[in-house]
A and B are shown apart, each in its own frame.
Chain A
């Protein structure tokens, strides 16, 4: 079976297309950054601190009723929402400074009528704001650190222009994935940070495979321009890029549909990230490397004077 013809020669990186791709990427990045600045992320309590209760009802829960009860009990700032099934409810409360979390939890439970039979507490998380700040800092540091290490590795294996191209593609993927979470206000929790780092790994994986082929073709196709050699490489690895993206998306959709609500943000982050990452390893990484003026000479050691060899007996 073939999804992609054996020999494609799509002009991915021609000057005109490249401009369109770069324009699209810049537009997406701009929108993402604007949304991140304007609306920010819908941080979960992992980051903000506070109290979270997941409740299981033996009947479909009436959210308005729950909100009214909580308001009356002195928690007008509680967020109430369905969680997967209509019998499951998530109650979130921002940090309260003046009371012990245990006391708040007890009050909440009595206001919600938790009795262990018709209403059951399935999960409780109580995080202090201080932990949240630390996690935010750690998450940011982890991403920066991962990008630096990857830059180092690609530089070691290829050359700095490639490394810069790869890291530009990764930053592109991270920013746009975060942008999606900001625009749609999807819940952003710790597992999403893990997913974004996995996206970095995946997208880089894709990019490196293309670069590997570029290096090979720089040797094989001497005399062709860097642009043409790169175009050939992207075409040659196209089938692989798409098939691997497809198998990974298959399992992630399975995880999104079957894995339950608490792992859903993770699955969504990876699905978005892999779509963006696949696009970026075809366009962004190579385009960025080309813009930096990558050329076969960057990878090929200068050949020693060929006449010398001819002179040998």
Chain B
């Protein structure tokens, strides 16, 4: 009695070995490293990697290991000093062409890395860094689209010789016509522009209201958030942060996690800025339709500029800060369409002035009549007006800004514009020392808690308690293995979840051992007591664990950030503990006590 078949013993052993192997990468610790990322989420090739190693070697540093992981080159070093030297050398050679970041890399032997194994990924509260939750201003995304319709319809109606005025309000355009006779013609023009638009007649009989359909609005909103994510990714990559996370959350939010970054104020400017440029011709007559006066930035004269945009920020494919004649400048490269437009404009307007308008949007909360109100504030300033002296196309320079502004503007232009402004709703920064302290504290709590529990169970249930302790330890190994395998971030509440699991996982064994004791008291033979103890406790264990799992799953579904981390480790712990506490201990109990004549049980 109480003998497991050989295959079952082997299966348990195999699962244990697998657990140990997957948990293994966590014992090696980490070392300073430099990570090199190719632009536009590209992949670093093996030959590029060799090139990086060569450059670092020329600076007198030999990496401890160099490999490509997830498309990024990782060069690991023996110490911080080597890392600094290597980082400097790579930056000097590749500044702006590759994203270069200093980071920590796990000190895995090549064979472990070769198996594709990785240690647990640590959450920001354990490694330090910045967490930012951004909300995308969807209203603005939609009205921006309407503005484009506004301009387009304006041009088309004028082309058709229809006199009109267009007003944008409340997510709709109101087109007022000079004559009632134009209504049908105007309707046709609008249909031509976009057949999907919803057109309703105004009450006065000579105006039309134009709205976007729900589907168009949704599409526009999705597009805006997707483009914002891409743009933010580009901007973050420019910052040289290793393993950044930029993710959509819900309908209109974006999570940005930047491990290792310590200065959120600097980050702020880069993340939420919607700075861009527009190039417009100066309206010398001053009364062309649609022309408007733009203020000049300190020292620059204000100008009346034409309505037509020659080129705008989203047509800029590359931008770099530099100096020209001692002045900070931004070197601009336009895409094909922008270049074409610039060529045509400069050809036809030689010796005429053109202005560069710097546009920045930010949010402001104002209290008006006791009511709080958030509004978009858009600042448009002319930073430079210059006479077109020659014909140019894709490449040119702009000046009129400070060096710091040139640097930030170049970065923002390179990374692309945000399709809609974003603003911060939640921000958390954890210093690196606090992160390490959290790891140390969590580790200490697990170790001491674990030791106290095994001493207690061993005293209370003697040899059966020792067996339960072995199961408890393998349970910890399995949790670590699963976390490494799933690459779910381990957070401080996550560690708390593991600690709680250590306390609760013994419960299954307590249930079993108490049952065995009861059976023994009732006068059953030891072998039979083991058997019925395990059997009778099973339904209680299952019920008890399933109910806890329900709570953990609800937590996971509703929770965010830290709470999710707790829910993950708690759920994993419950599942693994079912295996270790029931099958694991039974295997050992069977091996030790099974099939023997026993007078008493050490329980």
Interface residues of A, Cβ cutoff 8 Å to B: 1, 3, 6-7, 54, 56, 97-98, 101-102, 105-106, 120-128, 130-131, 135, 138-139, 141-142, 145-146, 149-150, 153-154, 157, 190-191, 193-194, 197-198, 200-202, 204-206, 208-209, 212-213, 216, 236-237, 239-240, 243-244, 246-252, 254-255, 258-260, 262-263, 266-267, 270
Q: How far is the CB of B389 from chain A (nearest CB, A)?
A: 42
- A255: chain B residues at CB < 8 Å are 445, 449, 496, 499-500
- B495: chain A residues at CB < 8 Å are 259
Assuming A101-B424, A194-B563, A247-B457, is B539 touching A122 (CB within 8 A)?
no
Is B550 within 8 A of A250, CB to CB? no
Interface residues of B in 411-448 (CB under 8 A from A): 424-431, 433-434, 437-438, 441-442, 444-445, 448
Beyond the given A154-B547, A213-B540, A258-B444, could you list 15 further A-B residue pairs with CB under 8 A, ordered by the A residue number? A6-B517, A98-B367, A123-B430, A125-B429, A142-B558, A142-B559, A191-B562, A197-B551, A205-B507, A236-B518, A240-B511, A251-B445, A252-B499, A255-B445, A259-B442
Interface of A, helix, strand, loop or mixed by DSSP: helix
- A239: chain B residues at CB < 8 Å are 514, 517
B323 in contact (CB, < 8 A): no
Is B555 within 8 A of A1, CB to CB? no
Assuming A248-B500, A250-B453, A251-B499, is B555 touching A125 (CB within 8 A)?
no
Residue of A nearest to B541 (CB): A209
B526 in contact (CB, < 8 A): no
- B225: chain A residues at CB < 8 Å are none
Nearest 7 pairs of A and B residues by beta carbon = A201-B551, A251-B449, A248-B503, A142-B558, A201-B548, A254-B449, A251-B503
Assuming A194-B563, A250-B452, A255-B496, is B570 touching A209 (CB within 8 A)?
no
Assuming A124-B264, A193-B563, A205-B507, is B551 touching A198 (CB within 8 A)?
yes
Is A194 within 8 A of B504, CB to CB? no
- B431: chain A residues at CB < 8 Å are 56, 120-123
B506 in contact (CB, < 8 A): yes
- A263: chain B residues at CB < 8 Å are 441, 492-493, 496
Is A101 within 8 A of B503, CB to CB? no
* A169 CA / B67 CA spacing, docked (Å): 56
Is A126 within 8 A of B496, CB to CB? no
Which of B442, B445, B559, B567 gathers the greatest number of chain A CB atoms within 10 Å?
Answer: B445
Residue of A nearest to B455 (CB): A250
Is A126 within 8 A of B424, CB to CB? yes
Residue of A nearest to B431 (CB): A122
* A246 CA / B460 CA spacing, docked (Å): 12
B471 in contact (CB, < 8 A): no
Q: Which of A127, A128, A244, A266 contacts B504 (CB 8 A)?
A: A244
Residue of A nearest to B132 (CB): A126
* A116 CA / B567 CA spacing, docked (Å): 35
Q: How far is the CB of B523 from chain A (nearest CB, A)?
A: 12
Q: Which of A102, A106, A247 contacts B506 (CB 8 A)?
A: A247
Q: Which of B448, B453, B459, B500 contacts A258 (CB 8 A)?
A: B448
- B438: chain A residues at CB < 8 Å are 260, 262
- Please, could you name 22 A-B residue pairs with CB atoms under 8 Å apart, sorted by A? A6-B521, A56-B433, A97-B365, A106-B265, A121-B429, A123-B429, A124-B427, A126-B424, A131-B426, A138-B559, A142-B559, A194-B567, A197-B552, A201-B548, A204-B548, A213-B540, A236-B518, A252-B503, A254-B445, A255-B496, A259-B445, A270-B500
* A206 CA / B561 CA spacing, docked (Å): 29
Interface membership of chain B positions 547-583, coded 1 if the CB is closer than 8 angstroms to chain A and 0 otherwise:
1111110110111111100110010000000000000
* A239 CA / B517 CA spacing, docked (Å): 11
Is A209 within 8 A of B460, CB to CB? no
Assuming A131-B426, A198-B570, A248-B500, is B453 touching A97 (CB within 8 A)?
no
Q: Which of A138, A154, A200, A209 contacts B551 (CB 8 A)?
A: A200
Is B550 within 8 A of A258, CB to CB? no
Is A202 within 8 A of B548, CB to CB? yes
Interface residues of B, Cβ cutoff 8 Å to A: 133, 264-265, 268, 365, 367, 372, 424-431, 433-434, 437-438, 441-442, 444-445, 448-450, 452-453, 456-457, 459-462, 492-493, 495-496, 499-500, 502-504, 506-507, 510-511, 514, 517-518, 521, 536, 539-540, 543-552, 554-555, 557-563, 566-567, 570
- B499: chain A residues at CB < 8 Å are 251-252, 254-255, 259
Is A190 within 8 A of B550, CB to CB? no
* A37 CA / B5 CA spacing, docked (Å): 61
Residue of B nearest to A211 (CB): B543
Assuming A127-B426, A254-B499, A255-B499, is B510 touching A247 (CB within 8 A)?
yes
- B462: chain A residues at CB < 8 Å are 1
- B550: chain A residues at CB < 8 Å are 146, 149-150, 153, 201
* A1 CA / B460 CA spacing, docked (Å): 5
Q: How far is the CB of A101 from chain B (nearest CB, A)?
A: 7
Q: Which of B426, B429, B456, B546 contacts A250 (CB 8 A)?
A: B456
* A247 CA / B457 CA spacing, docked (Å): 8
- B268: chain A residues at CB < 8 Å are 102
Q: How far is the CB of B451 from chain A (nearest CB, A)?
A: 9
Q: How far is the CB of B283 from chain A (nearest CB, A)?
A: 36
Q: Which of B502, B554, B561 contacts A251 (CB 8 A)?
A: B502
Q: How far is the CB of A221 from chain B (nearest CB, A)?
A: 14
Is B426 within 8 A of A201, CB to CB? no
- A6: chain B residues at CB < 8 Å are 517-518, 521
* A260 CA / B372 CA spacing, docked (Å): 39
